[in-house]
Amino acid sequence: MSSRFFCRQPLMVAALALSLLMPVLVSGPSAAAPGKGPDTVADVAERVMDAVVNISTSQTVAASRGVPTPQLPPGSPFEDFFDEFFKHRQEDGGENRSKRVSSLGSGFVIAPTGLIVTNNHVIADADEIYANFNDGTKLKAELIGRDTKTDLALLRVKPDKPLTAVKFGNSEKLRVGDWVMAIGNPFGLGGTLTVGVVSARNRDINSGPYDNFIQTDAAINRGNSGGPLFNMEGEVVGINTAIISPSGGSIGIGFAVPSATAQPVIAQLEQFKEVRRGWIGVRIQNVTDDLAESLGIGRPRGALVGVVSEGGPAAKAGLKAGDVIVKFDGRDVKTVRDLTRTVADAMAEREVDVVVIRKGKEETLRLKVARMPDDDKQESGKGADDQKAAPRKTLGLELSPMSEDLRKRYNIKTEITGAVITAVEGGTDAADKGLRPGQVIVQVGQEPVASPADVQKQIEALRKTKKKSALLLVSDGQGQQEFVTLPLD
């Protein structure tokens, strides 16, 4: 079973042994690709090696009690001995004494004046950060800013003379099979170079909302985190961040943040000490085959809008739940990840065109992007008052009208209206799709519903049009919404 690990290297003798026993998420150079590689990378390496630094950090943590007090039966001959031993241990401060923990990672200089890029997880929670250079120089570094969503951080040191710096290249030009070179600090050994190829692009390893990793077989191990991935021109095309490995060592599957993702983040960290992303106020989901059929859009594509935040940019522009966004600011949207990254890269206060498919037809809306709030909370719109009617059974669901009793039982917010699911028949498609009591059906076939009778009415209308499935918009009690399709047969 493979596992992912961060590649910061703790400064402990036991760390290497531990890495052999448990999986590790790391990044850095991996084993060279089979077959004939470049004749030599020595000239390129000589130009860039001095720009790569080892990042060492230290942190004070409270020591936990290493040995628990043994539980002995009353009257045991060892009872007095252990009571006295642990009493003296606590009086001496052995239980509560804090300790210093150190770790190592990698980084690289991007400005001769002392700007250094690394991974956020390399310097997270550190009390002190130092950059160790190839010539033996050691400089204390200050943290300018960090971005947890892309796992990047920007540091500054104050050198006595200009530093060797490297430039970012264009990761968008990389092709699978291109040769790349990684330099870092694996296992605290110091500057180490490995060569491999780009194995894949646009990898999503579920580490964050903007995953778009370069996969490489250039060997990457513990301590390589934050180090650069170079093209054959000596330009940084990625920041080594993670590996997949069952042992903690490289098996040839490493991941790097593309320079196209890193550059705007680093630029904002330098200018603002934070990242100011775009935000439009929607909750979205991928379009599956059955959703595409229900929406009448042909092949699966785009990002399906589930929730539109009240008063947000999308709401002001006229976007609605059920719209499928297929283009944003001139860029095609094939998946949710495409839209997430495109919106995040957009500048606040900028107006952009958004192309949506609404009820089978394309429409273009004009939207002004806002800055992503610190706490991006989505709200659902207000609906009608409670409807009184008898429970109904349809499509494997028992539906009841909204009531105060149901709101209390399922903790449903007052602004959520629709037909409440009170039971799900086992073995049905509804059960297979994960529908459960307490959820609320708020739309059927992209039409709002306020009661079980409305749901039944919409289902009958869909059957008359020969639809094979019904598209339901379902909300939980807190307003988290998703689209689900159920067959009408």
pLDDT tens for each residue of 70-93: 554 555 555 555 566 556 555 555
The Cα–Cα gap between 456 and 392 comes to 8
pLDDT tens for each residue of 184-231: 888 777 778 999 999 999 888 877 778 889 999 998 888 888 999 999
Q: What is the pLDDT of residue 374?
A: 64
Same fold, 21-47+167-272 and 278-371: no
Those residues whose C-beta lies under 8 Å from the C-beta of residue 483, and which sit 6 or more positions away, are: 285, 291, 304, 306, 322, 471, 472, 473, 474
Kindly tell me if the per-residue pLDDT of 140 is higher than 90: yes
| Region 421-430 average pLDDT | 89
Rg, the chain, Cα only: 28
pLDDT tens for each residue of 294-316: 888 888 999 999 888 888 999 99
Alpha-carbon distances, residue 382 vs 157, 161, 189, 379, 415 (angstroms): 53, 62, 60, 9, 5
For residues 12 and 50, the model is more confident at: 50
> Sign of the CA dihedral 71, 74, 79, 82?
positive
Place of tokens 């448990």: 22
Residue 454: pLDDT band (50, 70, 90) is: confident
For residues 477 and 246, the model is more confident at: 477
Q: What is the pLDDT of residue 248?
A: 66
Annotated active-site residue 225? The verdict is yes
Q: What is the pLDDT of residue 207?
A: 75
Q: Are strands 152-156 and 115-119 parallel, antiparallel or unpaired?
A: antiparallel
Closest CA to 187 of 225, 220, 222, 227: 222
Q: What is the pLDDT of residue 80?
A: 59
Q: What is the pLDDT of residue 30?
A: 40
Q: What is the pLDDT of residue 421?
A: 94
Range with lowest mean pLDDT among 10-24, 171-185, 359-373 = 10-24
Q: Is 245 left (phi over 0), alpha (psi -120 to 50) or beta?
A: beta
For residues 389 and 472, the model is more confident at: 472
Q: Which of 151, 217, 323, 338 is catalytic?
A: 151
Q: Which of 103, 121, 217, 475 is catalytic?
A: 121
| Region 442-451 average pLDDT | 88
Annotated active-site residue 88? The verdict is no
Annotated active-site residue 217? The verdict is no
| Region 283-289 average pLDDT | 88
* Fold that domain 278-371 belongs to in CATH: Pdz3 Domain (2.30.42)
pLDDT tens for each residue of 426-439: 888 898 889 999 99
Kindly tell me if the per-residue pLDDT of 378 is higher than 60: no
Q: What is the pLDDT of residue 362?
A: 92
For residues 318 and 346, the model is more confident at: 318
Q: Is 206 left (phi over 0), alpha (psi -120 to 50) or beta?
A: left
Q: What is the pLDDT of residue 125?
A: 80
Q: Is the full-model pTM beyond 0.85?
A: no
Q: What is the pLDDT of residue 92?
A: 54
Q: What is the pLDDT of residue 230?
A: 97
pLDDT tens for each residue of 50-66: 999 999 988 776 555 55
Q: What is the pLDDT of residue 85?
A: 58
Q: What is the pLDDT of residue 208?
A: 74
Mean pLDDT over each residue of the chain, to the nearest integer:
82
- Burial pattern 312-321, b for ≥16 Cβ within 10 A else e, equals bbbbbbebbb
Q: What is the pLDDT of residue 101?
A: 63
Kindly tell me if the per-residue pLDDT of 468 is higher than 80: yes
Range with lowest mean pLDDT among 80-84, 141-145, 231-235, 333-337 = 80-84
For residues 85 and 338, the model is more confident at: 338
Domain boundaries, the chain: 21-47+167-272, 278-371, 392-487
Q: What is the pLDDT of residue 154?
A: 97
Kindly tell me if the per-residue pLDDT of 381 is higher than 60: no
Locate 379 and state its tokens.
């709200």
**Which one of 8-17, 169-178, 242-251 scores highest in mean pLDDT?**
169-178
Write phi, then psi, for 262 (nearest 5 degrees). Answer: -75, -40
Write phi, then psi, for 103 (nearest 5 degrees). Answer: -150, 165
* Multiple choice CATH, 392-487, 2.30.42.10, 3.90.1010.10, 3.60.15.10, 3.40.430.10: 2.30.42.10
Q: What is the pLDDT of residue 319?
A: 94
The Cα–Cα gap between 139 and 440 comes to 58
CB atoms within 10 A of CB 457: 14
Q: Which of 19, 30, 199, 225 is catalytic?
A: 225
Residue 151 contacts residue 208 (beta carbons within 8 Å): yes
With a pLDDT cut of 70, the percent of the chain lying above it is 80
For residues 11 and 327, the model is more confident at: 327
For residues 385 and 330, the model is more confident at: 330
Q: What is the pLDDT of residue 10?
A: 53
Q: Is 384 left (phi over 0), alpha (psi -120 to 50) or beta?
A: beta
For the domain bounded by 21-47+167-272, which CATH number is listed? 2.40.10.10
